[in-house]
Structure 1
Amino acid sequence: MAGPKDLDPSSSPRALLGAELRHAREKAGLSQEELGQRLFVSGSFIGQLEAGTRRMQVEYARMLDEVLGTEDFFQRNCAAVAKSKYPEHFAEAAEAEAVTTAIRQYAPLLIPGLLQTSAYARAVCRAYQPTAPEEDIDKLVTARIERARILDNPTEPLLWAVIDEAALRRVTGGPKVMAEALRHIADLSRRGRAIVQVLPFGAGAHAAMQGAIKLMDFEDAPPLVYFEGVGTGRLEDDPAITRHQRFTYELLTACALSPQNSLVLIETMAQDYAHEDHA
């Protein structure tokens, strides 16, 4: 297991909590594996808490205070880490995404969040919550677009997306919105900020017909896979599960169009949507 990362405690409440956890664990003379055993979790899970790639939940904070003799430190400070601008089922995944070195994602039904435009995101959020006040939708859209700022970095993270043709053919927000959305994907691809492959209808049956895949790698923590459903989501770090999902993703890339051919298709579809909007 990789050694713990030197964190900047001033960077975020979660970074502070991770740094304090590492300090308390080492002071108690416990390895990550040994502490994990006492909490009935894996040593890699403890490492993820220390590295800031996993959020500390209240039940674990309570157990850590008991095992490490830290009175109620972790319980008291857990509340600050729990605050999030993202929906509860996605908050932990979004926070992990912000510190990842690589994201590999298969999107079967919609354009991945990191590749969405504001207009596309608004159409998606409104479809999810048709009766929500406009200010609530504004907050969701803002949070989604802010997530994409990780792509402002010229080198990291690597974003490799396989997008099902169905996601590109579903007219979300109208032809004008779709034209803009596809041009945005093409621009990110041409600038080298995303590797994008389209899985065409012609590929037929494939290895991920049961749903989406999102794999995240980190510099000094084990990889995670995120599973998402309607209003639900969970992170998994089990090595067998992450290996299987990575193999599934590799099968998808083999079935998908090449990045260059995908770019041609995306730009052609963007032109078609633009013409449709002006028809």
Structure 2
Amino acid sequence: MENFTLSNGVSIPAVGYGTYLADCDSAAVVENALRAGYRHFDTASFYGNEAELGRALQQCGAARGMLFLTSKLWKTELGYRQALDAFERSLEKLGTDYLDLYLIHWPRPDDLSAEWAELDRGTWRALEELYHAGRVRAIGVSNFLPHHLRSLMETAEVAPMVNQIEFHPGYPQTWNVEFCKAHGILPEAWSPLGRTRVLDDPFLRELAAGYGKSVAQLCLRFALQRGVLPLPKSSAPERMAANLDIFDFTISDADMDRILTLPQFGWSGLHPDFPKQQP
């Protein structure tokens, strides 16, 4: 497994195991992920599976030092005091005394009329305190767009180290990714395989076949070559292993260009500044 290095020098496995809607209540699923080679597990308070993931990792006998654990605070937990309380709840549920990465899940609450910039800044102040206290090794955000990041960084003492965003062929968020790179922020990809429309796309199928890989493997390699850390999820052992078998080929520059200029498709419809749109 290769690694990325965050702006503060912390090493993070280059592919993570996304746990949204995953069966973390089954120690067998988590054990299969560990056996496949995953050490980086991504969860969130909103996922409702932190306690299950923590128990499964303990049942599997995984040493805490070999793991990279990420969690996130939800829209209802924005604000200085709420963020500190949310962090403690996540630690308790995961059964650990520190996190490797802690993120603000969304930049705005569901009430889009709320003063999101002040909420973000108060929340970030809490994350900075946790970081300085050694309770978390790295801090960042999720689903932030460049204007959200600019606002946060105007008052931040510690710059975000990660921005976890929707990213896949058909929705590569090029400007957001470039903005993050320019400011030393590692982009992470949720939904790096897109949806059925992405995996069944004839062009991507043909392109993947030329490399002797699946479309899923092509999507994950595409993320890595864009400097984006993918977080695939699967409960099937063979797909878990296949999603890590992406370090033995390189997508050509010409094919990267073709993927980057595909028309938009496979988008979830989720946008932080607007009600959910039709994908």
TM-score range, shorter chain: under 0.3
Decide which structure has greater helix share: 1
Asked which structure has the greater CA Rg, the reply is 1
TM-score by length of 1: 0.26
